[in-house]
């Protein structure tokens, strides 16, 4: 696996990892402190078909921490553009983003529509979209399962003043809620054993300090062929967000899995990788 650190045209430093063989696919992870490690661990079946480039966004891995005013999903889309330039690509053949990483990938497709061919969004957040009703309904449904009670309590506890290590403990405790089957939360060693998550990153991207840019009015700018995968048991990025995105991008394809949570390729591996490969080939 290649581990590359490069200087951008703006003078910042970005890191990426290169694995696999085949057509290029850039992987856009959430930038709020998880890094790309959980994706490197669990997306390996795609490396049989694609060369995967796992980008570490600013303030993640060895990438430079920016001024807080430039730590928004809208700004982070520029990191994908810096990577495209570094790789010497006229156009990104395939861009895949998960969760908040999907938000950044979608911003890239909005801001640089001529620079991406195919866009794959896995349980992405549509920035600025009010999904409170669907999220509450999903949490209520999960609360019916006794196995979820301790995990749900972990997230509702106060964490504003936690250390990065304390915040990681909250993430580990809450992790089962992200899955349809809470026992499936152990399928990622990186996630279930994570020891430190940057609260600085999280606050700027999803917390009280965030600078929100609204994506819904901008969706018509996307020209990339787009596949979206959502899951009925995802309490964080509900299918309602996928439906709203699809409405703004009528030519896109929306797939919704039943009995599956926030990480479809971990709970429905065969279906997820099949749908991605078929869309891209």
- List the domain boundaries for the chain: 2-134+211-280
Tell me: the pLDDT tens digits for 37-78?
999 999 999 999 999 999 999 999 999 999 999 999 999 999
Task: Give the number of other CB atoms < 10 A from CB of residue 274.
Answer: 11
Strands 13-20 and 2-7: antiparallel
Tell me: the pLDDT tens digits for 102-156?
999 999 999 999 999 999 999 999 999 999 899 999 999 999 999 999 999 887 7
Query: Cβ neighbours of residue 242 under 8 Å, at least 6 residues apart?
Result: 121, 124, 228, 230, 254, 256
Give the closest residue to 185 by CA, choosing from 223, 216, 144, 142.
142
pLDDT score of 218: 98
**In this structure, what token pair is assigned to residue 128?**
């600025």
- What phi and psi, each to the nearest 5 degrees, are found at residue 16? -145, 160
Rg over alpha carbons for the chain, rounded to the nearest Å, is 18
- Residue 29, helix vs strand vs coil: coil
Give the closest residue to 78 by CA, choosing from 217, 245, 253, 213.
213
pLDDT bucket at 197, cuts 50 / 70 / 90: very high
Stated pTM of the model: 0.97
pLDDT bucket at 10, cuts 50 / 70 / 90: very high
Cα distance between residue 13 and residue 63, in whole Å: 5
Residue 208: pLDDT over 80: no
**In this structure, what token pair is assigned to residue 63?**
């990438």
pLDDT score of 31: 97
Residue with tokens 């430190």: 196
Output DSSP code: residue 230: E
Residue 161: pLDDT over 90: no
Report the CATH architecture of 2-134+211-280: 3-Layer(aba) Sandwich (3.40)
pLDDT bucket at 210, cuts 50 / 70 / 90: confident
pLDDT score of 46: 97
Residue 158: pLDDT over 90: no
pLDDT score of 124: 98
- The residues with which 55 forms a beta bridge, in sequence order, are 16
Q: Are 127 and 214 spatial neighbours (Cβ–Cβ below 8 Å)? A: yes
Tell me: the pLDDT tens digits for 248-280?
998 999 999 999 999 999 999 999 999 999 999
């Amino acid at each position: 696996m290649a581990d590359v650190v490069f200087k951008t045209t703006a003078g910042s430093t970005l890191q990426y990892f290169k694995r696999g063989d085949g057509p290029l696919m850039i992987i856009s992870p959430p930038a709020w402190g998880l890094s790309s490690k959980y994706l490197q661990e669990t997306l390996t079946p795609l490396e049989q078909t694609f060369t995967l480039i796992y980008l570490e966004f600013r303030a993640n891995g060895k990438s430079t921490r920016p001024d807080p005013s430039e730590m928004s999903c809208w700004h982070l889309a520029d990191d994908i553009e810096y990577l495209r330039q570094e790789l010497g690509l006229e156009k990104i053949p395939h861009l895949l983003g998960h969760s908040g990483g999907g938000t950044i990938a979608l911003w890239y497709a909005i801001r640089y529509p001529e620079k991406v061919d195919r866009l794959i969004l896995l349980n992405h957040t549509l920035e600025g979209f009010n999904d409170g009703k669907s999220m509450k309904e999903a949490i209520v449904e999960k609360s019916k399962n006794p196995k979820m009670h301790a995990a749900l309590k972990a997230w509702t506890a106060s964490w504003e003043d936690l250390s990065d290590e304390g915040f990681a403990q909250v993430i580990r405790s809450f992790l089962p809620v992200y899955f349809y089957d809470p026992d499936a939360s152990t399928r990622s060693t990186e996630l279930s054993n994570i020891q430190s998550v940057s609260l600085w990153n999280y606050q700027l991207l999803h917390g009280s300090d965030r600078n929100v840019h609204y994506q819904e009015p901008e969706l018509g700018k996307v020209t990339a062929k787009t596949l979206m995968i959502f899951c009925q048991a995802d309490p964080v990025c509900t299918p309602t967000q996928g439906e709203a995105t699809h409405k703004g991008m009528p030519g896109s394809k929306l797939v919704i899995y039943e009995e599956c949570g926030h990480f479809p390729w971990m709970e429905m591996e065969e279906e997820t990788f099949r749908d991605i490969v078929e869309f891209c080939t």
